[in-house]
């Protein structure tokens, strides 16, 4: 009996008369999944990029009624997937009133429920609990004990009730027994000490528990979901082999495979306020560049690939990026502004806080690596819209010829990053041929400044001009002049 509204049934006798049929949690998950698949209803909303990989694996595991291990690097939506499984449970299910173990009135488990039904029969009171109450999540930490998960003898309860320790009623049940008829999630499973992982063997294989040697058999009905980073990264511990063997489905998650998928995730997750979006334009190319930086970080020899680069890097970076534009907007009392390429200097804290460097990267320094990743991403974005300068150098119709000549004449472009939009455009427009080159990409007027900057940064990556990145400004000059200028700054 699957009901979407809380039923009015209040006694065991009424429940029997209603035709209620007990089902296990895994049967609930399976039956509702089958129903949703047949109706074409969208499953796991908000999970992007897993439609052809993780989600089909997850559906097969649910249909097979398996316990599940989601294995993947940080920031791959493992916990979000686990939390959405609760939507596959029945809306409401009946429990014996007052039971601490969510006892099914038709299949009582605890001593309390059995005694109550024996005493009251069909008049046993029942309650209905919502599916949101049937989800239990525990973060595995080294200090988690068997008593936390399974249970222990409670001496205070024994003294209060004047019961001997041999009486079942002195037991205090842990999280897993209290998750009877629920989904139980353990995050970061390798962080659980090996001896604690051993305590899960019987629950997964036999469906029962033992507490302090009690002759107690509780056939718990729990659907387990575990999440973990790959063992080769988690130095703090690992999933012991016998436990891994008892988890029927191991599903590998992954980072977005394409920039477009990554952009969709960032747009969905970034906490941008309506007033920010109303007054700040974000060029599509800026969104692409931001995601490309994360892709470069995942492929970089300076970044520990076993650690991974979370999707949170892009999300946090987008929030930094928009806030940088907003700060400028407020400073100059403008009504509207657009994200500039220079605003990407503001995302350095988001990058350095989200990557773990190998030895060579630590030698270079996190800020230098962040700039390196941005430069590589800018180069790829530049080639997405503009011709390769190396292929234009000896051409009779050099696309960048006028710009080369302007810098070759000894001109220098100084770009303080805090200029107003009008001042910034005026400074960029002083470079002969720059606006024409940007417009050749067919960009909208609102994106013109961003693409004018992109041309300059792209030419710097191809060593057509020299670029110096200093605190609060960026300067461009002829490459040879930059090399021989005694006052030149080589911080970049």
Q: How many CA atoms lie within 13 A of 75 on its CB side?
A: 20
Query: Is the confidence at residue 170, as pLDDT, over 50?
Result: yes
* DSSP string of 375-421, one letter each residue: HHHHHHHHHHHS--HHHHTT-TT-TTHHHHHHHHTT--EEEETT--H
pLDDT at residue 490 in the model: 47
**What residue spans of 5-77 are helical by DSSP H?**
12-17, 25-39, 54-63
3-state helix, strand, coil in the chain (%, to 5): 50, 15, 40
Judged by DSSP in three states, 42 sits in coil
**CA–CA separation, 289 and 380 (whole Å):** 9
pLDDT for 246 beyond 50 = yes
For residue 234, pLDDT beyond 70: no
Strand 465-470, strand 473-478: pairing: antiparallel
CA 98 to CA 102: how far, in whole Å?
9
The fold of the 256-385 domain, in CATH, is Helicase, Ruva Protein; domain 3 (1.10.8)
With 70 as the cut, is the pLDDT of residue 2 above it? no
Predicted local distance difference test score (pLDDT) of residue 483? 56
Q: Which three-class secondary structure state does DSSP give residue 288?
A: helix
More confident residue, 234 or 97: 97
Domain boundaries, the chain: 12-252, 256-385, 389-492
Residue 18's alpha-carbon distances to 3, 7, 14, 90, 361, in angstroms, are: 12, 11, 6, 16, 67
pLDDT given at position 317? 97
φ, ψ for residue 313, nearest 5 deg: -60, -50
Give the whole-angstrom CA distance, residue 157 versus residue 170. 6
Q: How confident is residue 293, by pLDDT bands cut at 50, 70 and 90?
A: very high
- Torsion of Cα atoms, 253 then 255 then 258 then 264, to 10°: 100
**pLDDT computed for residue 52 by the predictor:** 94
Q: Which pTM does this prediction carry?
A: 0.86
Arithmetic mean of pLDDT, 30-38: 96
Gap between the Cα atoms of 351 and 354, Å rounded: 5
Element containing residue 471 per DSSP (H, E): none
- Which residues, in sequence order, are CB contacts of 56 under 8 Å at separation 6+? none
- Class (C level, CATH) for 12-252: alpha beta
Residue labelled with tokens 């609930």: 28
Sign of CA dihedral 293, 296, 302, 307: positive
Two tokens at 293? Answer: 């930086």
113 has pLDDT over 80: yes
Contact residues for 402 (Cβ-Cβ < 8 A; gap 6+):
432, 433, 436
236 pLDDT tier (thresholds 50, 70, 90)? low
Mean of the pLDDT values across residues 257-268? Answer: 96
Q: How many CB atoms lie within 10 A of CB 409?
A: 10
91 secondary structure, DSSP code: S
Residue 30 CA, distance from chain mean position: 26
Percent of the chain with pLDDT over 90: 71
pLDDT for position 172:
79
List all residues 6 or more positions away from 35 whose beta carbon is below 8 Å from its beta carbon.
none
Strand partners, 249: 68
95 contacts: CB under 8 Å, gap ≥ 6:
102, 103, 104, 105, 126, 127, 128, 129, 181
The pLDDT of residue 171: 78
Q: Which tokens go with 170? A: 């002195």
Find tokens 């006028």 and name the residue: 402
Q: Is residue 325 a contact partner of residue 339, using CB atoms and an 8 Å limit?
A: yes
Per-residue pLDDT reduced to its tens digit, 386-439: 999 988 776 668 899 999 999 999 999 999 999 999 999 999 999 999 999 999
6: left (phi over 0), alpha (psi -120 to 50) or beta: beta
C-alpha pair distances (Å), 100 with each of 8, 181, 263: 21, 12, 45
For residue 294, the Cα-to-chain-centroid distance in whole angstroms is: 14
| Residues 372/377/379/380 CA torsion (nearest 10 deg) | 150
Residues 176 and 222 sit within 8 Å (Cβ to Cβ): yes
Report DSSP letters for 131-173, one per residue.
GGGGEEEEE--TT--HHHHTEEE-HHHHHHHT--TTSGGGEEE
* Per-residue tokens: 353: 């806080």
The pLDDT mean for the chain works out to: 89
Dist CA 197 CA 202 (whole Å) = 11
The reported pLDDT for the residue numbered 491 is: 46
* pLDDT (mean) for 452-459: 96
Predicted local distance difference test score (pLDDT) of residue 233:
46
DSSP three-state, residue 218:
coil
Task: Summarize pLDDT for 191-218 with one digit per residue, the tens.
Answer: 888 888 888 887 887 766 767 666 667 7
pLDDT of residue 319: 97
> What's the pLDDT at 3?
56
Lowest mean pLDDT of 3-12, 19-28, 248-257, 304-313, name the range.
3-12
Name, of 350-364, 385-399, 468-482, the range with top average pLDDT.
350-364
**Count of CB atoms within 10 A of residue 214's CB?**
17
Number of neighbours of residue 238 by Cβ within 10 angstroms:
17
Tell me the mean pLDDT in the region 175-183. 93
The answer to whether residue 127 scores a pLDDT higher than 60 is yes
- Average pLDDT on 350-363 reads 93
């Amino acid at each position: 009996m699957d009901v979407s509204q809380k039923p009015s049934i209040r006694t065991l006798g009424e429940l029997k008369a209603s035709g209620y049929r007990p089902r296990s949690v895994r049967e609930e998950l399976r039956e509702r999944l089958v129903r949703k698949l047949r109706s074409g209803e969208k499953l796991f909303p908000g999970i992007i990029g897993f439609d052809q990989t993780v989600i089909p694996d997850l559906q097969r595991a649910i249909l097979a009624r398996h316990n599940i291990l989601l294995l993947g690097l940080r920031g791959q939506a493992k916990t979000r997937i686990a939390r959405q499984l609760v939507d596959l449970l029945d809306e409401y299910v009946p429990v014996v009133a007052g039971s601490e173990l969510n006892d099914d009135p038709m299949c009582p488990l605890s001593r309390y429920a059995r005694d109550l039904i024996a005493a009251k029969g069909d008049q046993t009171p029942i309650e209905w609990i919502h599916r949101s109450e049937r989800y239990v999540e525990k973060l595995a930490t080294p200090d988690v004990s068997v008593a936390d998960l399974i249970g222990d003898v409670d001496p205070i309860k024994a003294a209060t009730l004047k019961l001997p320790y041999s009486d079942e009623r002195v037991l205090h049940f842990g999280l897993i027994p209290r998750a009877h008829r629920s989904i139980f999630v353990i995050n970061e499973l390798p962080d659980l000490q090996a001896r604690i992982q051993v305590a899960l063997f019987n629950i997964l294989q036999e469906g029962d528990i033992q507490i302090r040697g009690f002759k107690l058999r509780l056939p718990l009905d729990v659907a387990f979901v575990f999440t973990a980073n790959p063992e080769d990264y988690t130095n703090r511990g690992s999933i012991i082999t016998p436990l891994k063997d008892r988890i029927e489905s191991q599903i590998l998650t992954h980072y977005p495979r394409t920039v477009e998928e990554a952009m969709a995730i960032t747009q969905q997750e970034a906490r941008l306020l309506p007033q920010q979006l109303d007054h700040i334009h974000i060029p599509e190319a800026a969104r692409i560049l931001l995601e490309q930086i994360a892709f470069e970080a995942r492929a970089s020899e300076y970044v520990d690939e076993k650690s991974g680069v979370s999707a949170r890097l892009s999300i946090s970076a987008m929030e930094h990026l928009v806030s940088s534009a907003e700060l400028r907007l407020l400073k100059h009392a403008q009504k509207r502004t657009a994200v500039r390429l220079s605003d990407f200097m503001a995302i350095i804290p988001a990058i350095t806080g989200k990557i773990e460097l190998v030895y060579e990267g630590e030698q270079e320094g996190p800020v230098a690596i962040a700039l390196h990743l941005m430069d590589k991403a800018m180069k790829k974005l530049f080639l997405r819209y503009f011709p390769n300068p190396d292929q234009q150098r000896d051409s009779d119709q050099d696309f960048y010829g006028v710009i080369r000549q302007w810098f070759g004449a000894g001109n220098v472009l100084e770009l303080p990053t805090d200029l107003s939009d009008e001042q910034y455009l005026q400074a960029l427009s002083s470079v002969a041929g720059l606006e024409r080159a940007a417009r050749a990409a067919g960009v909208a007027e609102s994106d013109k400044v961003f693409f004018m900057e992109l041309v300059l940064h792209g030419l710097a990556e191809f060593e057509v001009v020299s670029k110096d990145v200093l605190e609060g400004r960026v300067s461009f000059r002829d490459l040879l002049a930059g090399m021989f200028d005694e006052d030149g700054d080589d911080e970049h």
